[in-house]
Chain A
């Protein structure tokens, strides 16, 4: 198999890797905000439920969580679901990353000086206006480096979909490598992940720069 045939065979996996990546971000970022609000809630029941959720998500391997999402419905409830593989992967990733994002958002929100809330309150801003106009923009600037770290980790973590035999780039690389007894597919996969992360780092740096007009 030539280099270009390998590349062509692997390109469908690259698209699938990108799909996992973007869909996970799409769901886990908003979900992360809900997690951070739940974690900071005055209601002790909600707060503790979210604490346990975060603890489980961070305390067990993502690969294991993926297996539970995929096989759980069948083994626990005897419900076979067809065509569920990709959904299980996105569920597993989104809920796992939401826990990490939630803690990053919480750190950012809690780092805001009380004076900002007080100034807004005295000026008559509502709580919603205060959050979206005054607090959130400053929080985003503060947490961006930590979020960049997570997003870069996510790019590499997409390869864990391998454990559910999903044909993303890493799974295909392994298959071609076995059948062709070639090391090349791994090199291609490595370069692919690196380029993707280079793009992520570049985009995030641009975002940081766009917010560097104030301190």
Chain B
């Protein structure tokens, strides 16, 4: 059974068709990277998968539970509020701009949702949060506020915040695009570590070497469609399609 199943997704903003018939399925433990030029629809695809955008047509399910499908007339229907609540527990999303809650300390940023949303025991959540911070080398920052941290530290905290919900799958929307090269490395190290632990992940990124190194599968998107898809060796090292080659050449020669 696929952990995530997206079929024939379409999404347009007004006249602009951003995603044109994309299907994507992810199995447990798989690391999928999505690369491609700006405006190719990569982020929108993640936003559709995480229900920050509603799809115009297609099908989405998590763990075999249908989240969105077309009814007999072709209109999209999303599952009930209760079912959606459950499905929201299956995934986490790490944003480009971190989106930490500035009025909460690092520890509270991590602990609040597990306690408030999942109704878990405070002591148990605290233990888990501290263990995750320890792992990320941020234990000494537990009582800091986001503004006191570097961008790299903030992004690692936001990864911990997502992990504390114990998601089945973690999405990353250009997690290092707001960071300088040095900070990028410390964030990529963390994601690589998660990949080694077989965390299921879908990563939208512009870091080609990184994508090649951690991914089981790479997807190249352009103009709202999947142009090429396969192992990193296939897509990044020996791309078949002219458009993929053109994009990667431009990236390599910058």
Could you list which residues of chain A lie within 8 angstroms of chain B, going by C-beta atoms? 113, 115-116, 118-119, 121-125, 129, 133-134, 137-138, 141, 213-215
Contact = CB atoms under 8 A, between A and B. Distances in A.
The 8 closest A-B pairs by CB, nearest first: A119-B99, A115-B99, A123-B113, A124-B117, A215-B147, A124-B88, A122-B93, A214-B145
A137 B117 contact: no
Contacts, number: 55
B116 A129 contact: yes
Contacts of B95: 115, 118-119
Given A116-B99, A119-B99, A124-B89, 6 more contacts: A115-B99, A118-B52, A119-B100, A124-B117, A133-B112, A215-B145
Contact of A215 (B102, B117, B118): B102
B116 A214 contact: no
Q: Is the interface of B mostly helix, strand, loop or mixed?
A: loop
Contacts of A115: 95, 97, 99
A113 B117 CA distance: 22
Given A124-B88, A129-B116, A214-B147, A141 B97 contact: no
B115 to A, nearest CB: 11
A122 B117 contact: no
Given A116-B99, A214-B103, A215-B102, A122 B88 contact: yes
B233 to A, nearest CB: 33
Contacts of B113: 123-125
Contacts of B146: 214
B11 interface: no
A121 B52 CA distance: 8
B116 A122 contact: no
Nearest to B88: A124
Interface in B100-145: 100-103, 112-113, 116-118, 145
B217 interface: no
A8 to B, nearest CB: 47
Nearest to B92: A122
A151 to B, nearest CB: 23
B99 to A, nearest CB: 4
B93 to A, nearest CB: 5
B85 interface: yes
B184 interface: no
A129 B113 CA distance: 10
B117 A123 contact: yes
B165 interface: yes
A161 to B, nearest CB: 38
A138 B103 CA distance: 7
A141 B88 CA distance: 30
A158 B100 CA distance: 42
B53 to A, nearest CB: 10
B50 interface: yes
| Highest count of chain B CB atoms <10 Å: which of A133, A214, A215 | A214
A115 B101 CA distance: 10
Contacts of B51: 121
B146 to A, nearest CB: 8
B147 A123 contact: no
B133 to A, nearest CB: 17
B42 interface: no
Interface in B48-88: 50-52, 85, 88
B161 interface: yes
B102 A123 contact: no
Given A118-B95, A214-B147, A215-B147, A123 B161 contact: yes
Contacts of A129: 116-117
A213 B145 contact: yes
A123 B167 CA distance: 10
A213 B144 CA distance: 10
Nearest to B158: A119
Contact of B103 (A122, A123, A124, A141): A141
